[in-house]
Amino acid sequence: MKPVIGVFFGGNSVEHEVSVISGLQALNSLNKDKYDAVAVYMTRSGEFYAGEAAARIEEYADLPALVKKCERVVPVPAGGRADLIFYPPRKLGKKLYATIDCVLPVVHGTNVEDGALQGFFRTLGVPFAGCDVLASAAGMDKFVMKTLFRAAGLPVLDAVRVSEAAWRADPDAELKAAEERLGMPVIVKPVDLGSSVGITIARDADALRAALDNAFLFSDAALVERALTDPREINCAVLGNADDAKPSECEEPVSGGDILSYEDKYVSGGKGGKGMSGAKRLIPAPISPELREKIRGYAVSAFRALGCEGVARIDFLLDGDEVFVNEINTIPGSLAFYLFEPAGMKYPELLDELIRLALARERRRARRSTSIDTGILKNYKGGTKLRK
Ligand SMILES: Nc1ncnc2c1ncn2[C@@H]1O[C@H](COP(=O)(O)OP(=O)(O)O)[C@@H](O)[C@H]1O
Ligand SMILES: [Mg+2]
């Protein structure tokens, strides 16, 4: 029997739609001679739907109609795999929709890419591709990732973290602290979002106030970072794990304005159902061989600094010759497959490698003990009343 790969996408994130496109791309690219694939669409309210309609992109134009055509399922532990059982449970007939051997999470953004979904699969005990819980969580928080990059000796732009609570309590003090440390202009980003949502450049104190208020619509905290004027952007993906991590080709995304917007990333070049891989970009990036090697080296270091596994894309900002690591995406759009193609790796092969790494991690974990026999509960006579 072929291993069953559960491709999970959607979820309660501002990048829900993008994840649907990435997820179905991955589903269609899995080598069907090697695997059986199951599409699992997660609604914004946390319900899971499977079925043939869930695998067809056209159906997503009408979500209420889509879920009616699908089977609602819930994943439950099944001895190192996950059973998708029909929900509500059926008294008669088939009770099990499918049993999943390995999950391929193709999700973007908070509540899914940030370790939440990875923790869910870990709790179920089913292998899953990509970063584990800690790397996923660290990679979602722009302040935490910057701190880890800095600790690893990587060049990053200086920034401060402003919490909404501190901002509401004393905005003038927060403004002053940010301005004194960073000067102007600055760029304000919700601390744990992606796809340029909620990001604004501020050139003076009033604009910074407005930018922070806007960022707090999305997150409890904001990153205020020194802004570069007209930086070039270069991205490089990395594939592997702690033992062996390899960089991809570099790309230069092309923006239509000041910052690379949601529109630039997904809409303007995204015709023909190619999603993120159809956005405007130059591959290979037109940079010198020396700069390319430097960036590829930094990308591997950044991947290692967070303890990433699977595939991640590391984004850089160039200020003249100066290179800064901007951010990591632990589940990049289109899983960054198009960055591995120039070196001869096709998307199905990238997916093979992600599944292989997921199963290898699970074998390593299985060797570690998760129980020690203390006999505490067998001999326990203490009750559970609180004692002074
Ligand atoms: N320090 C900066 N200076 C100038 N532009 C920036 C800076 N940081 C980010 N940008 C621009 O904003 C875009 C989005 O910022 P980024 O940190 O990548 O957040 P996201 O997670 O939303 O992609 C970048 O692609 C770039 O165009
Ligand atoms: Mg980005």
Provide the residue ranges of all domains of the chain, joining segments of one domain with +: 4-128, 158-226, 230-363
Protein residue with its CA nearest to atom 15 in ligand 1: 196
Protein residue with its CA nearest to atom 20 in ligand 1: 194
Q: Which residue has the higher pLDDT, 142 or 254?
A: 142
141, 317, 325: residue to mutate for ligand 1 pocket, most atoms within 8 A of CB: 317
161, 181, 259: residue to mutate for ligand 1 pocket, most atoms within 8 A of CB: 259
Write out the two tokens for 90: 């059926």
Distance 223 CA to ligand 1 centre (A): 11
For residue 263, the model assigns a pLDDT of 67
**Run of H or E residues at 297:** helix 289-305
Q: Give the neighbor-by-neighbor strand order of the sheet with 200-202.
A: 159-163, 221-226, 186-190, 200-202
Residues 6+ apart with CB under 8 A from 56: 24
Query: Whose atoms come closest to the Cα of 317: which ligand?
Result: 1
Write out the two tokens for 122: 């870990």
The verdict on the CB of residue 231 being under 6 Å from ligand 1 is yes
Locate the ligand 1 atom nearest the alpha carbon of residue 196 and give its number.
22
Residue in 210, 234, 233 with CA at minimum distance from that of residue 222: 210
Residue in 310, 307, 379 with CA at minimum distance from that of residue 134: 307
Locate the ligand 1 atom nearest the alpha carbon of residue 315 and give its number.
18
Write out the two tokens for 70: 């699908």
Indicate the average pLDDT of the chain: 93
Protein residue with its CA nearest to atom 10 in ligand 1: 259
CATH code of the domain made up of 158-226: 3.30.1490.20
For residue 167, the model assigns a pLDDT of 96
Query: Whose atoms come closest to the Cα of 326: which ligand?
Result: 1
Protein residue with its CA nearest to atom 26 in ligand 1: 259
Whether 132 shows a pLDDT value over 90: the answer reads yes
Q: Which residue has the higher pLDDT, 264 or 352?
A: 352
Output the DSSP codes for 153-201: T-----EEEEEHHHHHH-HHHHHHHHHHHH-S-EEEEETT--TTTT-EE
pLDDT tens, position by position, 203-221? 999 999 999 999 999 999 9
pLDDT tens, position by position, 316-349? 999 998 999 999 999 999 999 999 999 999 999 9
Q: Between the ranges 112-121, 185-194, 265-274, where is the mean pLDDT highest?
A: 112-121
**Contact 251/229 with Cβ under 8 angstroms?**
no
Average confidence (pLDDT) over 138-162? 98
Average confidence (pLDDT) over 145-162? 98
The verdict on the CB of residue 14 being under 6 Å from ligand 1 is no
The verdict on the CB of residue 233 being under 6 Å from ligand 1 is yes
Q: What span, in angstroms and rounded, lies between the C-alpha atoms of 210 and 205?
A: 9
Distance 235 CA to ligand 1 centre (A): 12
Query: Whose atoms come closest to the Cα of 189: which ligand?
Result: 1
Whether 269 shows a pLDDT value over 70: the answer reads no
Q: What span, in angstroms and rounded, lies between the C-alpha atoms of 302 and 299?
A: 5
What is the SS3 assignment for 303? Answer: helix
For residue 196, the model assigns a pLDDT of 77
Distance 235 CA to ligand 2 centre (A): 9
Q: Give the orientation angle of helix 289-305 with respect to helix 142-151, to 10 degrees.
A: 110
Q: What span, in angstroms and rounded, lies between the C-alpha atoms of 268 and 298?
A: 29
Q: Give the orientation angle of helix 347-367 with respect to helix 16-29, to 10 degrees.
A: 100
18 half-sphere exposure, CB direction, 13 A CA radius? 28
Question: Hey, how many other C-beta atoms are within 10 angstroms of the C-beta on 323?
Answer: 19
Report in angstroms the alpha-carbon separations of 136 from 108, 133, 142, 145, 348: 11, 5, 12, 10, 23
For residue 352, the model assigns a pLDDT of 98
CATH code of the domain made up of 230-363: 3.30.470.20
Distance 261 CA to ligand 1 centre (A): 9
CATH code of the domain made up of 4-128: 3.40.50.20
Sign of the torsion angle spanned by Cα atoms 299, 300, 303, 309: positive
Distance 231 CA to ligand 1 centre (A): 10
Whether 273 shows a pLDDT value over 80: the answer reads no
Q: What span, in angstroms and rounded, lies between the C-alpha atoms of 356 and 348?
A: 12
192 half-sphere exposure, CB direction, 13 A CA radius? 20
Whether 303 shows a pLDDT value over 60: the answer reads yes
According to DSSP, residue 35 is labeled -
**Contact 232/243 with Cβ under 8 angstroms?**
no
Distance 7 CA to ligand 2 centre (A): 24
What is the SS3 assignment for 311? Answer: strand
The verdict on the CB of residue 225 being under 6 Å from ligand 1 is yes
- Strand 245-253 relative to strand 322-329: parallel, antiparallel, unpaired? unpaired
Protein residue with its CA nearest to atom 1 in ligand 1: 227
Q: What span, in angstroms and rounded, lies between the C-alpha atoms of 163 and 373?
A: 44
Protein residue with its CA nearest to atom 11 in ligand 1: 259
Distance 259 CA to ligand 1 centre (A): 6
CB atoms within 5 A of ion ligand 2 belong to: 315
**Does this chain's domain 4-128 share its CATH topology with 230-363?**
no
What residues does 84 pair with on adjacent strands?
Answer: 75, 98
Distance 105 CA to ligand 1 centre (A): 25
